[in-house]
Amino acid sequence: MKVQIEALTRVEGEGSLEVFLRDGKPESLRLSIYEPPRFIEGILKGKPYQVIPDITARICGICPVAYQMSGVQAIEDAFCVKIPEDIEEIRRLMYFGEWVQSHALHVFFLHLPDFFNVPSIIELSKIDKGLVLAGMEIKRAGSLIIQTLGGRTSHPVSVVPGGFSALPESLSELKETLEKALEKALWTVEKLKALNFPDFELKEVLFVSLIEEDYPILKGDIYLEGVRVSPKEFKSVFVEFEVPYSTAKHAMTKDGRVYLVGPIARFNNAFEKLSPLAIETAHKLSLEPMVKNPHKGILVRIVEIVHALERSIRIVKDYKKPQKSKVEVVPKSSTGYGVSEAPRGILWHSYSFDSEGRILSADIVPPTSQNQRAIELSLWELIKDRENLKEDWLRDHAEPVIRSFDPCISCATHFLKVSLKDAKKFTLA
Amino acid sequence: MRVGVFKFSSCDGCQLAFFELEEELLRLSEKVQIQYFLEASSKNTWDYFDLVFVEGSVSTPEEEERIKKIRESSRFLVAIGACAVSGGIQSARNFEDFSEIYFSVYSGRYEVNPLSKPLSDFVKVDLEIRGCPINKEALREVLIALLQGKSPQLPSYPVCLECKRKGNPCVVVAKGLICLGPITVAGCGALCPTFERGCYGCYGPVEKPNLQALLEGYSRLRVSQDLLKELLRISFNGYNKSIREWL
Ligand code: SF4
Ligand code: SF4
Ligand code: SF4
């Protein structure tokens, strides 16, 4: 027998959760993603390298900047292009804009309604309009950064291999908006402090994030349990594989361990590198490494929002338009790797090019693929001892767990369905 | 007014325009009932809609069925974004060998159509909002006009006009870049030329794009027919009904 939720909601993308029962007891479950694949990697083949930032951005409307940044850095790695500090700083600023926008969307629009037992932000606004408006203001500040640097809030147009196609003369008009948003974010912290969290811990999960001098975002090696792995070595430590019930691939470490990427992993691995106000915020929320309760992702996201805003204000204050908005890129036959911290965790790209810079092969590993196992594991903890599992219960309890991970199914290929199936009919491939 | 928002093969980028309406969304929600919008709400009902917005292209047998079902239950259907209007970037595969593309990403077993197609290949579409992604101004115009029972005013002229209005130097003349602005419908505010690059066509073709004239214009820049075709195929709108034959 199986129990099924027809459609997962308030997540980005389409998927389902099925729970298989034997004699009324849960035997296994699967988070399946039935979002149709869009074959972006296949489409890239044979195309000139310049199309990478524009095309890969369209994998995800929520984190296009992440795709653009990992993408251009992979190109630059292949063609041995060194990017000047000042251009990297602007890349960081744009990326912070995406963190703020994406985290605010998740915290206020998608996740927060769960804590108030309402179906949507529209209903939430009837209970606490101030909180909703604050969330919108924060999100708008993130969007404004991206729009100023790239023309629009989703799929910005200025990111090119080597830097930016053009850059603004000044960013001073951003300052006030960012400062106000930071104030609002700190104000919401007082409210989020009062939220109640289900008792729940991720066990046996590795936390994986990048390591940079600052709190990781743009680049760096991959860090797990004290070990550093270069972007090039990614595939020798992690494996991505297909599962029969999902159009999104799954990932594990080569030695079969489940790992988690994203805000909680970054927080656990790089807490001390957060901005001063972000650390203060974490203290206020009684948050310190190791955070193991995925529901508390919402708190870590607000900490990261504070961090991103504080850092952005600094970059904006120091901004002087670089002499050149981009450096020269000369293609050659080679392979390159690019990895960065998307709002949802590490996003890895690799490309091989011919001597003219045409793409011979493309390989992209998005954060949600990497987190699927950890989500399944958490769901299993939730249901494993329950008898008499019912669809309503599953929807009320399992959906919030899934949501707390902020899965982006569009990335992994989006929409969750939940079902309980006859164990005998189900075989794990 | 009962409204639904649906998603097909896409990146979710166009739905985000609803969230970008922010406070207006809250105000609108007093006048319209959003009955179905999976990304925004965990309470969804699907019976009858006065107005639906559909994001994404049709690329599986299930999606073919679902778009027909949506059409049957809706009075007015709006296709939002390049995926829904033209098939999206995923339709670049329509011009290539599907099996090769398929197996370069997956090893097999999913039910996916070889072609990614626009909604209008399957059902009657009442209105298109262009862009990859659409912008919130266009969405607001459509929502408000339809609420008031008027017809929405969206541009049908090319990007070049917006570009000139903004006083941008033409990147074709000034930098020798290829720009799809002359055949692409306006609405973005000539973003790419403003950022000193050529338009890559994300708002899709104007009603009767003169591709031959564009090619002749570009032959002076030594742009071959093959190159122009390649650019149009990856213009996010290559499978649009008004250009697919030419490609
Ligand atoms: S049209 Fe572009 S932005 Fe909209 S859903 Fe498709 S890929 Fe995303
Ligand atoms: S830059 Fe492009 S859009 Fe602008 S006028 Fe020239 S051809 Fe037209
Ligand atoms: S200029 Fe062209 S490619 Fe750029 S945003 Fe506008 S329509 Fe899209």
pLDDT for position A411: 54
For residues A9 and B145, the model is more confident at B145
Model confidence pLDDT, tens digit, residues A15-49: 778 888 888 788 888 887 667 788 888 899 999 99
Per-residue pLDDT band for A4 (boundaries 50, 70, 90) equals low
Tokens standing for residue A338: 């690019």
Per-residue pLDDT band for A413 (boundaries 50, 70, 90) equals very low
**Which of A12, A166, A361 is the closest to B39 by Cβ?**
A12
**Which is the closest atom of ligand 1 to the Cα of A154?**
3
Nearest to A91, CA basis, from A69, A60, A61:
A69
For residues A413-427, give the mean pLDDT.
Answer: 31
Taken as a whole, chain A contains a residue count of: 429
SS3 content of chain A, % helix, strand, coil (to 5): 45, 20, 35
Interface of B with A in 37-76 (CB under 8 A): 38-44, 59-60, 63
By most ligand atoms within 8 Å of CB, the mutation choice from B157, B162, B164, B171 for ligand 2 is B171
Taking an 8 Å cut-off on Cβ atoms, the answer to whether A247 and B110 are in contact is: yes
Interface of B with A in 187-216 (CB under 8 A): 188, 191-192, 194-197, 200, 202
Residue A419 has pLDDT above 50, yes or no: no
By most ligand atoms within 8 Å of CB, the mutation choice from B165, B175, B178, B179 for ligand 2 is B179
Give the Cα separation of A396 and B42 in Å (integer). 10
Question: Based on C-alpha coordinates, what's the Rg of chain A?
Answer: 21
Percent share of chain A, pLDDT over 90 = 63
Which single residue is written with the structure tokens 């809250």? Answer: B26
Q: Locate the DSSP E strands across chain B.
A: 2-7, 33-37, 49-55, 74-80, 127-129
Taking an 8 Å cut-off on Cβ atoms, the answer to whether B102 and A39 are in contact is: yes
By most ligand atoms within 8 Å of CB, the mutation choice from B134, B137, B184, B195 for ligand 3 is B184
A64 vs B contacts (CB less than 8 Å): 13
Question: Based on C-alpha coordinates, what's the Rg of chain B?
Answer: 19
Taking an 8 Å cut-off on Cβ atoms, the answer to whether A43 and B22 are in contact is: no
Question: Packing angle between helix A297-318 and helix A276-284, nearest 10 degrees?
Answer: 160
For residues B159-173, give the mean pLDDT.
Answer: 96
- Ranking A97-101, A366-370, B2-6, B159-163 by mean pLDDT, the lowest is A366-370
Chain A interface mutation, best of B30, B105, B203, highest count of A Cβ atoms under 10 Å: B105
A122 vs B contacts (CB less than 8 Å): 25-26, 29, 34, 40-41
Contact with chain A for residue B13, Cβ under 8 A: yes
Tokens standing for residue A230: 């270069």
Distance from CA of A44 to the nearest CA of B (A): 9
Instruction: Give the closest ligand to the alpha carbon of residue B181.
Output: 2
Per-residue pLDDT band for A203 (boundaries 50, 70, 90) equals confident
Model confidence pLDDT, tens digit, residues B198-225: 999 999 999 999 999 999 999 888 889 9
Residue A409 has pLDDT above 70, yes or no: no
Taking an 8 Å cut-off on Cβ atoms, the answer to whether B39 and A9 are in contact is: yes
Predicted ipTM? 0.96
Tokens standing for residue A327: 């450096």
- Beta bridge partners, A209, equal A223
B38 vs A contacts (CB less than 8 Å): 7-10, 14, 415
pLDDT for position A356: 95
For residues A73-95, give the mean pLDDT.
Answer: 98
pLDDT for position A35: 74
**β-pairing verdict for A206-211 and A2-5:** unpaired
Residue A428 has pLDDT above 70, yes or no: no
Give the Cα separation of A370 and B173 in Å (integer). 47
A109 vs B contacts (CB less than 8 Å): 19, 40
**Which of A8, A13, A395 is the closest to B12 by Cβ?**
A13
Instruction: Give the closest ligand to the alpha carbon of residue A165.
Output: 3
For residues A81-92, give the mean pLDDT.
Answer: 98
Q: Ranked by mean pLDDT, which of A104-113, A335-344, A395-404 comes out on top?
A: A335-344
Model confidence pLDDT, tens digit, residues A307-346: 999 999 999 999 999 999 999 999 999 999 999 999 999 9
Give the Cα separation of A162 and A151 in Å (integer). 18
Which residue in B has a C-alpha nearest to residue A135's C-alpha? Answer: B22
Q: Are B159 and B199 in contact (CB under 8 A)?
A: yes
A164's enclosing H/E stretch is: strand A163-164
pLDDT for position B29: 83
**Which is the closest atom of ligand 2 to the Cα of B168?**
4
Model confidence pLDDT, tens digit, residues B28-64: 888 899 999 988 888 889 999 999 999 999 999 999 9
A73's enclosing H/E stretch is: helix A64-78
Nearest to A142, CA basis, from A108, A115, A190:
A108
Distance from CA of B56 to the nearest CA of A (A): 11
Name the 3-class secondary structure at A127.
helix
The reported pTM is 0.94
Percent share of chain A, pLDDT over 70 = 90
- Ranking A244-248, B46-50, B178-182, B221-225 by mean pLDDT, the lowest is A244-248
A304: phi > 0 → left, psi -120 to 50 → alpha, else beta; which? alpha
Residue A399 has pLDDT above 60, yes or no: yes
A125 vs B contacts (CB less than 8 Å): 26
Per-residue pLDDT band for A418 (boundaries 50, 70, 90) equals very low
Model confidence pLDDT, tens digit, residues A44-70: 999 999 999 999 999 999 999 999 999
B11 vs A contacts (CB less than 8 Å): 38, 58-61, 410
Alpha helices in A205-333 (DSSP H): 234-237, 263-270, 276-284, 297-318
Taking an 8 Å cut-off on Cβ atoms, the answer to whether A39 and B101 are in contact is: yes
Give the Cα separation of B100 and B7 in Å (integer). 27
Give me the amino acid identity at A258. Answer: V
For residues A320 and A204, the model is more confident at A320
Q: Are B84 and B57 in contact (CB under 8 A)?
A: yes
What is the layout of strands, in order, in the sheet containing B33-37?
B33-37, B2-7, B49-55, B74-80, B127-129
pLDDT for position A384: 87
Residue A243 has pLDDT above 90, yes or no: no
Give the mean pLDDT of chain B: 93
Which residue in A has a C-alpha nearest to residue B200's C-alpha? Answer: A54
Taking an 8 Å cut-off on Cβ atoms, the answer to whether A122 and B34 are in contact is: yes
Distance from CA of B208 to the nearest CA of A (A): 26
b/e string for B7-18 if b means 16 or more Cβ within 10 A? Answer: bbbbbbbbbbbb
Per-residue pLDDT band for A248 (boundaries 50, 70, 90) equals low
Ligand 3 center from residue B192 Cα (angstroms): 5
Taking an 8 Å cut-off on Cβ atoms, the answer to whether A109 and B40 are in contact is: yes
Percent share of chain B, pLDDT over 90 = 80
Taking an 8 Å cut-off on Cβ atoms, the answer to whether A247 and B105 are in contact is: no
For residues A124-132, give the mean pLDDT.
Answer: 95
pLDDT for position A417: 29
Does residue B13 line the site of ligand 1, with CB under 6 A? yes
A14 vs B contacts (CB less than 8 Å): 7, 38
Q: Are A409 and A62 in contact (CB under 8 A)?
A: no
Give the Cα separation of A106 and A138 in Å (integer). 12
